[in-house]
Structure 1
């Protein structure tokens, strides 16, 4: 059956081929409810566009056949077709798969259960008392409703309140206490929604009913851990700190965050019941779909947030749309990320900068004005001196080094990932004293002595070019703790990746290969 499926894929690729094509190499992933592919046709003398035929139904059939035959789901695949009609299909479980984007190549996952720990789990826990006051919160909430009613010309209809017993049961079900000031609000109204219409009382978000709060916590627990997007995206990921710093744990999600309001687009307000060192239990944060870089601190409590809402109404900082009020003046966290070049005045709140296509050698010294810089990426840009990085908490560093050395990174306690390109050979020895370095991409650098990698016991991800891998493997110097590796390069094949996977300890003997001719 797989032979028939492979032939159908080849027929479709050949049928849609452009004039004068010499080869088509297409790869991707199928199964798990979806499919994807990349690659295209080679046309000598031209820069052929990425003309890919629509193959979703055939790919899902491929996934179905292989699932029945081997039990793999999803699967990775690559098909190579020629104008002569010859074709070759290679498939394997998705432990080996094509990587698109920066660097390209194939990724090999050696430990599918390993996840890089979130930095927030290592932060010191907060010990301060809650800032919220249930009686004051109730007083402010009633005053807030009265002022809104004066603006609208009528009181807003809200759900009936819940009981103390219902609140106690909700806490039992989620296994955590709710802040006292949030409990006080539920004793006034069970959220702000009547049917499908919400008043969006809190920070312009729909305030969830108590039952919806519990369901959000217990039925969708996957958000409580930061989503894992695969090693190609995660190996150099960074979670930003909040402003003020060290108040909220640097996590993409956490069991101590209880969502109680939503903007209905995948983003939420949550009360944080497990804050970092300088935080307070019950503080309000923003988290969700648009906060993969980390949560945003909103207020130290529901009580304080309500006072801010009262102040905004008093100042006239709102818009009235028919029967709806939208507050203006959301919390300002400052500039956390810059894409482009280094500005004349570097904002002290800067945590990430992408320096793109700079002319000349980039001087990094102005970045010392950003004491919280976590991500420094030089894209198609070059620097000669990493000394300014020495005293910055940079965790993700992507750099092209022009004749410089890695010496300033020796003992760097924050550096977690390094993507290195270089114009001259580079000595890796300084990296052996970077205690938290877990990811390296050296595919764009000449490394005279790759055996230094053997001493990086904490390394979990390593990307090298074909010849670099051959050298490292021949010397028996592969770091011992790798969970994933990448064979970098735009011209590497699935077979190349399977060969590497085998050499680094993954059994690939059951890979499927089908050849034929139309």
Structure 2
């Protein structure tokens, strides 16, 4: 088994990277960097095109596969999921390899060797993941909800189904910690949707799906789609916001203790009964939770009876309207003043070609919790110290340097990130990340230095 801190483990990969990155390695500060994970990798390696008329074959990348596989085998021996690296390689073959082991307080970068979000407060999550549903004490079932009609319809469509006993339904309720609504109980009294009940009847699941209008989960697989069921990297979650307009049928939440998932759309989107509806919704309505979104769900049917009888296949509603998120850049808002309003929670400053911007217009906003700023866009980074409610901050390396040197990093932060433009050397970025982590006494990103030699360039 190769060892991750043995230069020989990395030698085949370094040879490959040297051959494909001569210009990148030449001169002062020349380096190559990448990331190797248990199931994938990101390295600066250009791959040639196959001959005309032929597709790419595995053997076209065999050297890369072999070199990476050797590192992955060594990585498996450490128990880590990934490792980042940077290397300086001289024409003589003298090489210095820096291995950057992830910190439990730093999310991994996405396809790059730089650290992702720095988790400054252990166990913290962005504000939308802490948001609970608004109370709905007056919510009533829809007029279309008809448990008796639902049962008659389902028994006609799937007459031979094996239903759940009252004891099995009670056990599911105890596991979930919530009483199942009447329509959902009726559904599982007709069919508990267990594979062992179907035996060799391989068409049974399809019949059940057609009868119900979705891919039905077994009674044992029901689960609550609360916020923890939709995990999200901090830097993405911090950019989201919860908003529920007064005419919304569904609350614009990450998740809810009242969303009971009982099926799938067939494409990965979850189908749930909603016991915490929006202002214009009904208790027990059917919603669909988009697997490509972190926030919200959309109304699918007014009730389970409505879903089964009317076969709804269109979503309606927009959980993302009126979000308190503002983007200032060359394509969106053109000033901080235009973004500033009392309900602003998230401000993102992107690519900017004019004079750097002052943050004065957003000072004192009561709900501002996230600020991200592209490198070089701020006139005075020290203005950030006046934003006392920030829980997430993403800045370029130079802006972080200003805050660190002045002792002005906001102590209200729960997480932070370093915005990297281009492909700078990873070591200065990691050094800044470690300075930020140290302010909260969080585990640091560790660096191991290996030295060795490759064959000289002919």
Fold match by TM threshold 0.5: yes
Shorter-chain TM-score range: 0.7 to 0.9
Q: Which has the higher contact order (CA 8 A, sep 6+)?
A: 2
Does the CA-based 8 Å contact 1:159-1:189 persist in structure 2? yes
Deviations 1:80-116 (A, max 9, x none): 1424323322222244576458x99543514252110
Structure-1 residue corresponding to 2:64:
53
Structure-1 residue corresponding to 2:261:
259
Shift of 1:20: 7.2
Does the CA-based 8 Å contact 2:327-2:333 persist in structure 1? no
Shift of 1:426: 0.9
* 1:305 match: secondary structure: helix
Shift of 1:280: 3.0
Deviations 1:263-285 (A, max 9, x none): 34433211122334443332211
Structure-1 residue corresponding to 2:237:
234
Q: 1:479 aligns with which of 410, 413, 421?
A: 410
Shift of 1:458: 2.5
Does the CA-based 8 Å contact 1:118-1:250 persist in structure 2? no
Does the CA-based 8 Å contact 2:144-2:302 persist in structure 1? no
1:84 aligns with 2:86: no
> How far apart are the structure 1 equivalents of 2:239 and 2:118?
16
Does the CA-based 8 Å contact 1:29-1:75 persist in structure 2? yes
Query: Hey, which of these two has a bigger chunk of strand by percent?
Result: 1
> How far apart are the structure 2 equivalents of 1:20 and 1:56?
17
> How far apart are the structure 2 equivalents of 1:461 and 1:249?
24
Does the CA-based 8 Å contact 2:328-2:350 persist in structure 1? yes
Deviations 1:496-516 (A, max 9, x none): 122102322435485322222
1:207 aligns with 2:208: no
Shift of 1:124: 2.0
Structure-1 residue corresponding to 2:149:
139
**TM-score using structure 1 length:** 0.68
Deviations 1:356-404 (A, max 9, x none): xxxxxxxxxxxxxxxx343xxxxxxxxxxxxxxxxxxx42525237995
1:429 aligns with 2:360: yes
> How far apart are the structure 2 equivalents of 1:4 and 1:505?
24
Deviations 1:3-26 (A, max 9, x none): 763333233331465467232513
Shift of 1:223: 6.9
Relative to structure 1, is the Cα distance of residues 514 and 460 closer, same or farther in structure 2, using a 3 angstrom cutoff? farther
Does the CA-based 8 Å contact 1:124-1:277 persist in structure 2? no
Deviations 1:302-358 (A, max 9, x none): 23334434xxxxxxxxxxxxxxxxxxx513426x5xxxxxxxxxxxx9x4xxxxxxx
Unaligned runs of 5+ residues in structure 1 are 42-50, 68-72, 147-154, 310-328, 337-348, 352-371, 375-393
* 2:186 match: secondary structure: helix
Does the CA-based 8 Å contact 1:138-1:185 persist in structure 2? no
Structure-2 residue corresponding to 1:341:
none
Q: 2:314 aligns with which of 331, 335, 338?
A: 331
Does the CA-based 8 Å contact 1:284-1:299 persist in structure 2? yes
Q: What does residue range 334-413 of structure 1 map to in structure 2 within 5 Å?
A: 351=320, 372-374=321-323, 394-397=324-327, 399-400=329-330, 404-413=334-343
Shift of 1:2: 5.0
> How far apart are the structure 2 equivalents of 1:446 and 1:410?
17
Relative to structure 1, is the Cα distance of residues 302 and 286 closer, same or farther in structure 2, using a 3 angstrom cutoff? same
Does the CA-based 8 Å contact 2:86-2:426 persist in structure 1? no
> How far apart are the structure 1 equivalents of 2:294 and 2:358?
34
**TM-score using structure 2 length:** 0.76
> How far apart are the structure 2 equivalents of 1:37 and 1:222?
33
More displaced, 487-496 or 172-181?
Answer: 487-496
> How far apart are the structure 1 equivalents of 2:17 and 2:427?
25
Q: 1:283 aligns with which of 285, 303, 309?
A: 285
Does the CA-based 8 Å contact 1:248-1:275 persist in structure 2? yes
Q: What does residue range 484-503 of structure 1 map to in structure 2 within 5 Å?
A: 484-503=416-435
Structure-2 residue corresponding to 1:14:
15
Unaligned runs of 5+ residues in structure 2 are 26-30, 47-60
Shift of 1:241: 5.5
Q: 2:252 aligns with which of 250, 253, 261?
A: 250
Calculate the aligned-residue CA RMSD, in Å: 3.7
> How far apart are the structure 2 equivalents of 1:469 and 1:511?
21
Shift of 1:427: 0.9
1:117 aligns with 2:53: no
Shift of 1:134: 10
* 1:39 match: secondary structure: coil
1:271 aligns with 2:273: yes
1:415 aligns with 2:425: no
Relative to structure 1, is the Cα distance of residues 18 and 114 closer, same or farther in structure 2, using a 3 angstrom cutoff? same
Does the CA-based 8 Å contact 1:213-1:259 persist in structure 2? no
> How far apart are the structure 2 equivalents of 1:450 and 1:57?
44
Shift of 1:257: 1.5
Shift of 1:157: 4.3
User: May I ask how many residue pairs the two structures share in their alignment?
Assistant: 415
1:34 aligns with 2:39: yes
> How far apart are the structure 2 equivalents of 1:398 and 1:452?
17
